[in-house]
Chain A
Amino acid sequence: MPGSIERQHTNREFERELKQLRERLLAMGGRAEQQISAAVACLVDRDDERASKVIDDDERIDLDEREIDELAFAVIARRQPVASDLRFVVFALKIVTDLERIGDLAVNIAKRARDLARLDPSPAEMRLVELAVRVRAALKDALDAFAHSDVERAERVIHNDREIDLQNTHLIADLISTPTEGARDFARALAISSISRYLERIGDHATNVAEMVIYSLRGRDVRHPRQP
């Protein structure tokens, strides 16, 4: 689509509904970002109480999912949107699932962080924090790409996901090759590898969001590109 749409809908109520949907999505995305940070902070600070808060706060994200779904369905039923409006509503219905899954994965991280809190810190945990910083940045960039209609930023998120995958693969490979001495070492390695996997999956969901941003803005489906 050449150019950008500057005109508003003639129907102001429709315009208001789309604006509300957009604001709700951005708020939910912000909450998902915060949950990732909070879950990783539990790990760094060995903060059991904070882990419980992450688990409790997931309810808000679940509620976001239900309410955004309702809003999107109402827009479809009332307005029967087409073109960029239709793509935006489809975008909302798709990314809401990714954001909800990100919330669930943050809860999983918080639970594993609680397990790790009972064990001595290990150097591998710093690598988890580095991975978490990268993953959160990916989600932030994907949401910023949505907020600012920025296709290039969305494309960078998709491109950079390879780095996240590699970092996770290397971390797990190193854990496997490190000899464990007893049950505590094994439990630590298991928790760290789980958190690494959860973070990698959050990266995948951020990539999904970025792909849908491109679809919503350009009408171009960039999912599942064929390998050369």
Chain B
Amino acid sequence: MSKAPFSEIVMGNTALVRAMVEAGTRVVASYPGSPTPEIAEAIRSIPIAQRPFYFEFSTNEKVATEVAYGAALNGHLSTVFFKSVGLNVASDTFVQLSLMNITGGMVIVLGDDPGANSSQNEQDNRHYAHLSYTPMLEPASPGEVYDFYKKSVGLSREKNMPVILRLTTHVCHAKQRVAFDGWEPVELDPTPRFDAARGPYIPITAEVLPMKRRALERLTAVSDFAKRSDLNRIVDNGNRKKGVITMGLPFLSLMDVLKSAAEKPDILKLGVVHPIPKESIKHFLQIHQEVKILEELDDPIEKEIKAIAFDEDIKVKIIGKMDLEDWIGEYTPDKVYEIIHKTWPGLLPEKSAKVRKPPVPERPAQMCPGCGHRSAFHAIKKALTGTDITVADIGCHTLGFLPPYQTGELLMCMGASTGIGAGLSLFNGARKVVAFLGDSTFFHAGLPGIINAVFNRHKLTLIIMENGTTAMTGHQDHAASGKNFNEPTDKIPIRQVLTGLGIQNIYETDTYQQTELTRLVKQALSDDGFSVVIARHPCMLKFTREQRKKPAFKPRRVDIDQQKCNQIHICVEKFACPTFVRKSDGKVEINPDLCIGDGSCLQTCPSAAIKQPEIVGDKVQ
């Protein structure tokens, strides 16, 4: 790791890690979730012996927040990062942080997801900043991610308060050349400096109100910091009629869109989105006739700015959200074009008429070739009747909801399936309820629902889709993997946990044993009470990647015996491995680019037309 200044092409997530190093961050924790897992990949690229801070993937976002908080009370600058909805999990701990005197400093990095690219909603986490009296900074680009993290640290340490750095998907993943400063390593002070006298750290009635007062006082003082640190800035286009107040990636969209504008409005770009800089905004409102608030997702800033105009009696036309569409989706340049066009017709040139576009079949995300979940859904479907209710959970196995499996008819959030399934089973003697759960999610938030099912004697079946990893977010280890981020660790076997909870009916098989899995699920469904089926098979994407790295690796694939094939298409239509290709004449072939030769498809063909996997030749030169 360079101690001298340098520049490199990096994504926002990587720029963040360099900022952590330079800032002297000591403890970092997380739970994987898009758009943030690449932060951990950048951390992993620093060999552990040279890594100047401790990092862990915790069991969930709440625990990660607690670990970072605890470390900060010993005087270690800490950071926790996770995706947008991760903050919901962490919130019970998170909302208390501003009450505390966080002596080492603590930054909460959020990966919000406008457009719901890889999340179950596009929640606007700026509301949490308001709810918890926590300042929030919002960078627009990788360069700003790097700069704003260091400024967040400065603020957090100056005031011993938590600070949120809010990233969004395409800020996390944007790539550009960033100029980094030098790094002066600071020797670790291992003294555990926790001191209860620097608290109080116990929020009970008598203490809560003064603690809240202190939180509010600190928040008020943030505006001085924002002024000093140049986080909010003006793009002065000399326009005293029109102005725009915006922030984050929408600012960059706006800059691009305005290149073709007849006149360019002035722009106030906010770097601190909570608390907003009242004086700067007041001045900006006073010197313009019309001000557009260009704010992605919800409208907290619009409301605050309108309140400022009202309180200060400023005569200005403030144009916020104009219709419901303005609340929905990412503010891409296309979206910002539409919004500006709607706000000030005539400012932007009309777009030319579009040519006719032929349809392209959708390409939804799929389970990979050889995925154990595919075998599982194919087998489980045979054990279910059409009226059974199947409850999905978060993970690769969520994809079972797609045709042709259509298993998993409702989805909420991490670990919710067992609880929802329990509710669906009440007053319900007619329709069996089957809930699904991944193994990483089992530890993350799945356990309380399972314990509840035991405790309250709910009648449903839970199928644990165990693939040995946190697959969807890039194969992070979990508590049953036998490895943590840094070293080997004791495995917590899921089956033993279930046995320890006193669950009587536990079944387990490899999902490639499709007939056996069908039988076990039927058995579990006929059990009285709560039953669990562990449907396990290692993640084949992970397995195949590992195999390919071995020198002796020989690619294998199956083939179709065209003599035997009766074109009944179970392989392509029901089992639906993406490897199978349907030709226009009905003939079935193998896509050699996709088949991994796992052979899990052989058992699905009643004509036995799928041939045993064979080695296809030496590894390519």
A binds B: no
